[in-house]
Amino acid sequence: MKIRRTVAAIAATLLPVVTAGTGQAAGAAAYECTANHMCAYAWPGGDGERIELLFAVEDLGTWKGGVLNDQISSGWNRSPFPFCFYVDSQYRGERYQSAPGSSGWFPHNDAYSSIKRGSC
Ligand SMILES: [Ca+2]
Burial 4-31 (b: 16+ CB within 10 A, else e): eeeeeeeeeeeeeeeeeeeeeeeeeebb
If you measure from the C-alpha of residue 89 to the centroid of ligand 1, how many angstroms do you get, rounded to a whole number?
Answer: 7
If you measure from the C-alpha of residue 36 to the centroid of ligand 1, how many angstroms do you get, rounded to a whole number?
Answer: 25
If you measure from the C-alpha of residue 23 to the centroid of ligand 1, how many angstroms do you get, rounded to a whole number?
Answer: 33
Query: What is the per-residue pLDDT across 21-54, written as a single tens digit (0 to 9) for each?
Result: 333 334 447 999 999 999 999 999 999 999 999 9
Higher pLDDT, 21 or 96: 96
**Which of 1-15, 44-58, 60-74, 89-103 is predicted least confidently?**
1-15
Read off the pTM. Answer: 0.76
If you measure from the C-alpha of residue 110 to the centroid of ligand 1, how many angstroms do you get, rounded to a whole number?
Answer: 7
